[in-house]
């Protein structure tokens, strides 16, 4: 290879290295600029961190115990005939509201009327015999035992009349309770018997109605401490999704023993059920109002953060920086958490955006969709969509 060719080859190598160096140094610079821009956009070292703010509130908070329950009719009666005979009338409509004493059906009364008439005739005869025996006994014409026999026969005839009258009354089948009739179990024209198990109709009392639910045995003492052993505590029935309230009632009774197989105790609550939202057999979620915490400190559940040292929250300071403050929390209900220590009512806290924060970081208040709030101090004072509205001052 000649010297000229070696010079040309060396020049090409130098040019290639220069081009490669230029390309990579430029890409790194562009990448660094993009990273810096992204960091600034995310609120890292290049700017404030966007967060959503809320207020620490003070209000009365109910404390609940939740259990799965079943709706039961307050009373249920299977209406049956108490005499044998032909069913000649059914006087109720299926699903009809009836009162105690309403006539529901009639068994043919003619055979029982005949027995009653016969018993009355015999009773009249025995009464007349007794009167004659009494006159004869007064004159010592008959022996004492003959008079005693006449007295016994008269009493026996009277009892037979009463029994015949009872059987005749049983031909008229009446509702024993207030309630709603179900599906008719036998049709007109059938012969019914007192020994029939199916009956004629089932009547259930729906006003009021009961809900039987269970709680873990560990919560029993809490219920008893609040006077639940005597009933009277408020109970709310909710739908299967545990979202929509159906009715409000009161605790009626706490069962007198714990079910050892499940470790639960049964409770029964009574509901007026005037709108019939509760129906026998329906599964509901029963919420027992155990007590009400007066003037409790409350924050949205998303305010509470958890770390290796326990629970904490980011508190917004006047200079738009945040402080990571340890807190103690209690129950959470309806997306609100009770705070027993660490926060004071009226303080501003971070509701959303905590994962970007460090203690002392500067913040920018935004709405729930990430839009900046123009007046940050106004947002911190309660105009955040998560903060409670304050009454306007005139």
Instruction: Give me the DSSP letters along 64-129.
Output: EEEEEEEEEEEEEEEE--SS-EEEEEE---TT-EE-TT-EEEEE--HHHHHHHHHHHHHHHHHHHH
CA–CA distance, 340 with 296 (Å, rounded to integer): 8
For residue 366, what pLDDT is reported? 85
Looking at residue 8, its pLDDT comes to 67
Q: Which residues of the chain are in CATH 1.10.287.470 domains?
A: 109-170
Give the three-class secondary structure for 32: helix
Which CATH fold would you assign to the domain 49-58+295-383? Answer: 2.40.420
Over residues 168-192, the pLDDT tens digits come to 999 999 999 999 999 999 999 999 9
Contact indicator for 322, 315 with CB cutoff of 8 Å:
yes
Query: What would the mean pLDDT of 98-118 be, rounded to a whole number?
Result: 97
Tokens 């026996």 belong to: 156
CB atoms within 10 A of CB 251: 25
Best-predicted range by mean pLDDT (155-169, 310-324, 377-391): 155-169
pLDDT at 376: 39
Residues of CATH 2.40.420.20 domain(s) within the chain? 49-58+295-383
Q: What is the pLDDT of residue 140?
A: 81
CA dist 143 and 152 (Å) reads 15
Cβ contact 351:52 at 8 Å? yes
pLDDT in tens, 243-278: 899 999 999 999 999 999 999 999 999 999 999 999
Class of domain 65-73+205-294: mainly beta
CATH topology of domain 109-170: Helix Hairpins (1.10.287)
* Lowest model confidence (mean pLDDT) among 177-181, 292-296, 389-393: 389-393
CB 113 within 8 A of CB 121: no
Residue given tokens 């105690």 in the structure block: 100
Which strands sit side by side in the sheet containing 191-192, from one edge to the other? 172-174, 103-107, 85-90, 191-192
d(CA 354, CA 304): 10
Q: Which pLDDT score, from 0 to 100, does residue 24 have?
A: 52
- Structure pTM? 0.68
Peptide bond preceding 208 in cis form (omega within 30 of 0): yes
337 CB-near residues (< 8 Å, 6+ apart): 298, 299, 300, 301, 303, 304, 329, 330, 331
Which residues of the chain are in CATH 2.40.30.170 domains?
65-73+205-294
What is the rounded distance in angstroms from the CA atom of residue 392 to the CA atom of residue 394?
6
Output 2 or 49, whichever has higher pLDDT.
49
């Amino acid at each position: 290879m000649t010297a000229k060719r070696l010079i040309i080859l060396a020049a090409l190598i130098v040019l290639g290295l220069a081009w490669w160096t230029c390309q990579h140094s430029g890409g790194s610079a562009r990448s660094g600029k993009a990273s810096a821009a992204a960091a600034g956009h995310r609120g890292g070292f290049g700017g404030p961190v966007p967060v959503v703010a809320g207020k620490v509130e003070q209000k009365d908070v109910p404390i609940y115990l939740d259990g799965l329950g079943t709706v039961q009719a307050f009373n249920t009666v299977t209406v049956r005939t108490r005499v044998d005979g032909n069913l000649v009338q059914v006087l109720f409509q299926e699903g009809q509201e009836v009162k105690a004493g309403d006539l529901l059906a009639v068994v043919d009364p003619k055979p029982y009327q005949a027995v009653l008439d016969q018993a009355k005739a015999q009773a009249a005869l025995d009464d007349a015999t007794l009167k004659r025996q009494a006159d004869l006994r007064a004159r010592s014409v008959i022996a004492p035992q003959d008079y005693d026999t006449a007295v016994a026969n008269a009493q026996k005839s009277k009892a037979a009349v009463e029994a015949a009258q009872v059987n005749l009354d049983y031909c008229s089948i009446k509702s024993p309770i207030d309630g709603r009739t179900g599906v008719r179990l036998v049709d007109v024209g059938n012969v019914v018997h007192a020994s029939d198990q199916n009956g004629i109709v089932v009547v259930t009392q729906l006003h009021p109605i009961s809900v039987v639910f269970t709680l873990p045995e560990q919560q029993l003492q809490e219920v008893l401490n609040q006077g639940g052993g005597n009933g009277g505590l408020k109970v709310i029935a909710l739908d299967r999704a545990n979202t929509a309230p159906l009715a409000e009632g009161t605790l009626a009774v706490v069962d007198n023993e714990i079910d050892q197989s499940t470790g639960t105790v049964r409770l029964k609550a009574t509901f007026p059920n005037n709108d019939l939202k509760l129906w026998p057999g329906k599964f509901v979620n029963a919420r027992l109002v155990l007590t009400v915490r007066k003037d409790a400190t409350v924050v949205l559940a998303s305010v509470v953060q958890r770390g290796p040292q326990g629970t904490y929250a980011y508190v917004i300071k006047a200079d738009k920086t945040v402080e990571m403050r340890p807190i103690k929390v209690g129950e959470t209900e309806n997306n609100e958490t009770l705070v027993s220590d660490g926060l004071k009512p009226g303080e501003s806290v971070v509701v959303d955006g905590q994962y970007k924060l460090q203690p002392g970081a500067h913040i920018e208040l935004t709405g729930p969709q990430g839009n900046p709030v123009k007046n940050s101090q106004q947002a911190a004072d309660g105009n955040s969509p998560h903060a409670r509205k304050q009454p306007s001052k005139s």
